Structure 1
Amino acid sequence: MQDIRYLTVTALTKYIKQILENDKHLGQIYIKGEISNLTKHSRGHFYFTLKDEGAQIRVTMFSNYVKNLNFSPKDGDKVRLFGSISLYEAGGSYAINAYTLEQDGIGSLYLAYEKLKKSLNDLGYFDPKRKKAIPNYPKAIGVITSPTGAAIRDIIHTIERRYPSATLYLYPALVQGEEAKYSIEKQIQKANKDQLVDVLIVGRGGGSIEDLWAFNEMPVIEAILQSKIPIISAVGHETDFTLADFVSDLRAPTPTAAGELSTPSKDTLLELVSGYRNQLEVYTRKHIEQQKTRLVHLDERLASKAPMALIKQLYERYQNANKQLEGSMERLLSGKKHQFDLLNQRLQDYDIQTLIAYKVEKTTQLANNLTQNYERLRVKKEDQFQLLLQALKHQNPLSLMDKGYTYTTKNQKRIESVTDIEVGDAIETTLKDGKLTSVVKNKETHTWK
């Protein structure tokens, strides 16, 4: 009878364990599936089942690997993991020890991006209250980018077209690769130290998430946050977002857009200045016309209230009336003389002596009537003038001087009370026919009741 050697359960389990854990294909496993029955241990370990349509396997992920995760796993998540096979001898079951875990269909860089974005947002890095205003009319603009890329050419062309008066400073930097984050950080710090520019544009052209990753690194984020100069981020295309976009003072969808956002348009400025000039011209003309009208009104009021001007006006009216009267007399005499000449001519056909006697009498009578009418008209006009003159004199404050009144001034200011003068003051007294200058030697105060 053949001798049969029976193995113990432990021996068999150890043998299987050795085969599984030493197999080169099972020492590094890349596997994907769906998480089920996830358990999170109090010490930080994760235990779950990874399954697909045809099978399932247990997975253990110890806490020292869990802390490196970029997301929080849950039942139903589609994941990809890297690990190795292990066998638990006491239970006689095998499982996978997971070292890394990421969501299936989402790269690790994106997961790291989302995790850091949430952390920075919680810390207030993206708070709008800490963002600085972009100057409306910058004198100098700094650009931190690759000196050979398309981004710098687009920015230069845009600024020269829109706002050629601005000075452009290029701070050349690496924008891709491991050293890019330090290069960008250094140039932001240098621009702040130089203090040559009013605003900074930081960015590059488009690319993959790996190409743009330098703008998600903490050295760049911290440099933007600490910059005293306002920063416009211009990374990639319009659909590309980096953490630099959120922490910057303003995000531009493209480098060309950054050039536009950092500058005013010269055409808009010309229109604005032209509008201001037109408004100023209209306001100036309106103001001058208002002042002219006001001056005319003041001049008319002054002329109407001046007594001498009114007297002059009345005198001119009198002279005009007198000239009109003299003209009328001359025309009347000329007409009568013409009639006399006509009559004299007609007398040649009649009795000269009789006609002469008649006409002499008639002429004498007409001359007397004319003289009387002229005298009456002259007396009437003189009486009217005297009445107007007397009425004007009653309105003239100087007419009181004809009755012996005077008025006294000090420094050309009328004195109304003894309190207006002091002993020793020089005063000037105006009479109807002249002025006196006196010095006050004494003053007394009277109370009249």
Structure 2
Amino acid sequence: MSGNPYLTVQAVTKYIKRKFDADPHLRNVYVKGELSNVKIHPSGHIYFTLKDDKSRIQSAMFRGNASNLKFRLESGMNVLITGDINVYESSGQYQLYAQTMEPDGIGALFLAFEQLKEQLSKEGLFDVRWKQQLPWIPRKVGVITARSGAAFQDICSTIGRRFPMAEIVLFPAAVQGREAVPSIVEAIGQAESYGNLDVLIIGRGGGSIEDLWAFNEEEVARAIFSCRIPTISAVGHETDTTIADFVADHRAPTPTAAAELAVPAKEELAGRILDRKRVIYRFLSTRLTQEQKRLDRMRNSYPFLYPERLYRPFIEKQSSLEERLIRSRGELLYRKTQEFSQKTARLQYVSPSAVLKQRLKESTVTEERLIRAMQQSLGGKKDRFLADIRMLQALNPLSVMERGFSIIYKEGAVVKTADALASGDSVKINMQDGTAVAEIRSIELQKEES
């Protein structure tokens, strides 16, 4: 025994796990309970809790086993499980590892059927509004079933007996087993790509629910729903019901019944043709009799017996209208002539040449008035100008000098009196014909008279 008596958590867990592995009672155990916390991992593994009213155990179902489930796990579902109980070392918890699982109290296949039926019904795949009508006289009938099965032989014999003109095209497919689902889906795709098919029968003969299970798979149901060709589901016997019956456009209880639904009976067609012929004959006979009577009534009617009386009122009306038209035409012509004369006069009055002549006349009168006004204005201005000249000449000092007078300037200023001068001043004397410079020698002032 070592000096350290303590074990690691891993060592304890491994020890407990070996105990679980060694216990034969924990292998192939049968456990029933209620599912809760169901989680489906993207990898395909399923994790859930299995519980009853007193206990619960963590559980798992790996992808390999989960792929064999026919129904969808849901929380609250009671199930029967076979598997092993062991320890999950990472969490130190013991877990139930389920290998198989069945619903408690109901079959797995029946539960899977009901679950898928409810799901597709909610999505509207069973709605009547999506159902396509079957053609009355199909030329090509497609069949999806096993090549060697009795169902194909029954369909061929029934169509050959009822409506041999129709062409039968087989799209062979596996109808049971693991390869059935992809085989049926592929056959539906081939039928759509084939073209010119008027109706498509999908089905097989009778068998157990396991044998018919391919027609309960979601992939097959969606392929039938998406098919653009009117489809007839004919799976098993009359008591058998599959998901394909709900999504198909029409359901037949057996393959033989599907063939009868797909094509009309030639005897029935012949009878219908004869019935139509009789109906058409009666209709035409009745119609001809009615039209003959109608023709006789028309021949004996008043307009045909006295045709001239038929159009006489119209001739009178035409004459009256013609007179009114001639009278109205004269009145209209007179009125329009008057309007034309008035508009011509107005046009002449407002025409550019008339306006120009009027404006030219007005311009001439205005020009004459302007010339007279200018002449009068110039005469008055001339008279005033001459008067002003005479006044200026009278007031002009140069005029005085012409009479012998002169003007004396001292230092640029006019000398008006003698006392403004002094002996010896230099002055400038302006005369009519020139200027003289003089010096004042003496000044004699006039004495005022007493």
Pair 1:201–1:13, CA change in 2 (3 A)? closer
**One of 52, 71, 74 as aligned partner of 1:72:** 74
CA displacement 1:151-183 (0-9 Å, x = unmatched): 111112222233233222112222122222222
CA displacement 1:3-27 (0-9 Å, x = unmatched): xxxxx9x99999786444323x435
Please, which moves more after superposition, 236-245 or 266-275? 266-275
Name the CA distance, whole Å, in 2 between partners of 1:203 and 1:234.
4
Name the CA distance, whole Å, in 2 between partners of 1:124 and 1:28.
45
Name the CA distance, whole Å, in 2 between partners of 1:126 and 1:164.
33
Q: Would you say the 8 A contact 2:145–2:174 is kept in 1?
A: yes
Q: Shift in Å at residue 74 of structure 1?
A: 4.1
Q: Count the aligned residue pairs.
A: 304
Match of 2:189 in 1: 189
Pair 1:298–1:95, CA change in 2 (3 A)? closer
Pair 1:289–1:152, CA change in 2 (3 A)? same
Once the two structures are superposed, the pairs formed by residues 132-281 of structure 1 within 5 Å of their partners are 132-281=132-281
Name the CA distance, whole Å, in 1 between partners of 2:328 and 2:111.
105
Q: Would you say the 8 A contact 1:245–1:251 is kept in 2?
A: yes
Pair 1:282–1:125, CA change in 2 (3 A)? closer
Q: Would you say the 8 A contact 1:61–1:99 is kept in 2?
A: no
Q: Shift in Å at residue 87 of structure 1?
A: 7.3
Match of 2:319 in 1: 417
Q: Shift in Å at residue 142 of structure 1?
A: 0.7
Name the CA distance, whole Å, in 1 between partners of 2:241 and 2:267.
31
Match of 2:121 in 1: 121
Match of 1:424 in 2: none
Pair 1:446–1:147, CA change in 2 (3 A)? closer
Pair 1:283–1:106, CA change in 2 (3 A)? same
Name the CA distance, whole Å, in 2 between partners of 1:20 and 1:174.
45
Pair 1:46–1:271, CA change in 2 (3 A)? same
Pair 1:297–1:157, CA change in 2 (3 A)? same
Q: Would you say the 8 A contact 2:203–2:234 is kept in 1?
A: yes
TM-score normalized by the length of structure 1: 0.55
Q: Would you say the 8 A contact 1:177–1:211 is kept in 2?
A: yes
Name the CA distance, whole Å, in 2 between partners of 1:255 and 1:87.
54
Name the CA distance, whole Å, in 2 between partners of 1:303 and 1:47.
100
Q: Which runs of 5+ in 1 are unaligned?
A: 1-7, 51-55, 308-395, 398-407, 422-442
Match of 1:318 in 2: none
Pair 1:22–1:219, CA change in 2 (3 A)? same
Match of 2:25 in 1: 26
Q: Would you say the 8 A contact 2:84–2:97 is kept in 1?
A: yes
Q: Which runs of 5+ in 2 are unaligned?
A: 1-6, 41-46, 330-450
Secondary structure at the aligned position of 2:170 is classed as strand
Q: Shift in Å at residue 205 of structure 1?
A: 0.7
Q: Shift in Å at residue 60 of structure 1?
A: 3.6
Q: Shift in Å at residue 261 of structure 1?
A: 1.7
Q: Which amino acid aligns with 2:188?
A: I
Match of 1:46 in 2: 49
Secondary structure at the aligned position of 2:229 is classed as coil
Name the CA distance, whole Å, in 1 between partners of 2:38 and 2:172.
50
Pair 1:96–1:287, CA change in 2 (3 A)? closer
Once the two structures are superposed, the pairs formed by residues 309-348 of structure 1 within 5 Å of their partners are none
Once the two structures are superposed, the pairs formed by residues 88-127 of structure 1 within 5 Å of their partners are 96-104=96-104, 106-127=106-127
Once the two structures are aligned, what percentage of the paired residues are identical? 39
TM-score normalized by the length of structure 2: 0.55
CA displacement 1:275-324 (0-9 Å, x = unmatched): 222222222222232333344445555899579xxxxxxxxxxxxxxxxx
Pair 1:221–1:414, CA change in 2 (3 A)? same
CA displacement 1:2-52 (0-9 Å, x = unmatched): xxxxxx9x99999786444323x435314255x37x7659997414249xx
Secondary structure at the aligned position of 1:61 is classed as strand
Secondary structure at the aligned position of 1:26 is classed as helix
Q: Would you say the 8 A contact 1:26–1:84 is kept in 2?
A: no
Q: Would you say the 8 A contact 1:142–1:191 is kept in 2?
A: yes
**Aligned Cα RMSD in Å?**
4.5
Q: Which amino acid aligns with 2:319?
A: S
